[in-house]
Amino acid sequence: MINHLSKTQIGMYQRCPYAYFCRYVEGLKLPPSSSILVGKSFDEAINLEYNTKIDKKKGQKVSVIQDCFADTFDREKDNIVFAENEKPEELKDLGVKCVANFHKEVCPQVNPVMVQKKDELKFENVDYTFMVVVDVVDDKDIVIDNKTTKRSWAEGREFQELDPIAYSLWYELSQGKQENKFRFDIGVLTKTPKVQQIERKVSKEEKKGFLKYIAYIYDSIQYDLKRGMFLPRQDSFLCSKKWCGYYQKCEKEWGIKIKEGGKTNGAK
């Protein structure tokens, strides 16, 4: 019985119900990738900066933030599966530079009142809750999600992400008011690191629709559980050996041939 959902769970079920089954029903966790390592190290560093601001009314020296990133990276790197062409030390150095740039360009703008806020939304007349972990809320009622990426986001990417609607819904229900706006603060890990800040307003209609979508996903999962069958989504570009760590299990279970990249060939 699945009694709670999260943005991550919904996203995985969207991408592939069978991958959701492997991860959240069977509990098969995959070794994290380098992008997960960089993201976690980045979050630890920026969280230190913002928590220090809350506690001491001023931030950390940039060297402290950089050391936090490097220490987290070194502590976690032995658990990571790096791609063949990836060099961990070069990746760490790039992340350290990215943190410094983010500390200079973004952090001075933010006066946080909440950092890594974990919460559970409960709804009337349903059997599930919705779990959130919100990166930052500042004193201007701006809800912020920190991210790292290897390349700049294309125009309109923010409308493809669940974060704005999910966190806007959380803010309204938990704080009893509308957020001022939602913003992605993104550290871009290009050769010369840069920052993207992408804002967007979430409408009431979007939040109402998202509540319906949560219910739809929950009902779909319950249906799949009852029949004991979570179908692989073969039409997704993520259905490939490159992007899905469950491809071997999927091939064996469903008799399909997963390509190195792109779509599957379908049943044998």
Average confidence (pLDDT) over 203-222? 96
Q: Computed over its alpha carbons, how large is the radius of gyration of the chain?
A: 20
Q: What is the CATH number of the domain that holds 176?
A: 3.90.320.10
What domain count does the chain have? 1
Residue 214 lies in a domain: yes
14 domain residue, yes or no? no
pLDDT of residue 81: 86
| Spatial contact of 120 and 131, defined as CB atoms under 8 Å apart | yes
Evaluate whether residue 7 is within a structural domain: no
Q: What is the pTM of this model?
A: 0.91
The predicted model gives 183-207 an average pLDDT of 96
Element (H, E) at 180: none
Residue 174 lies inside a defined structural domain of this protein: yes
**For residue 184, what are the β-bridge partners?**
145, 198
Q: Which domain holds residue 133?
A: 112-230
Position 175 in a domain: yes
The verdict on residue 3 lying in a domain is: no
Render pLDDT for 71-97 as a digit per residue (tens, 0 to 9). 999 999 998 989 888 999 999 999 999
* Residue 163 located in a structural domain: yes
Residue 166 has a CB neighbour count (10 Å cut-off) of: 25
Does the pLDDT at position 262 exceed 90?
no
Domain membership of residue 13 (yes or no) is no
Percent of the chain with pLDDT over 70: 97
Which pair of tokens denotes residue 73? 């990276």
pLDDT of residue 20: 96
183, 199 in Cβ contact below 8 A? yes
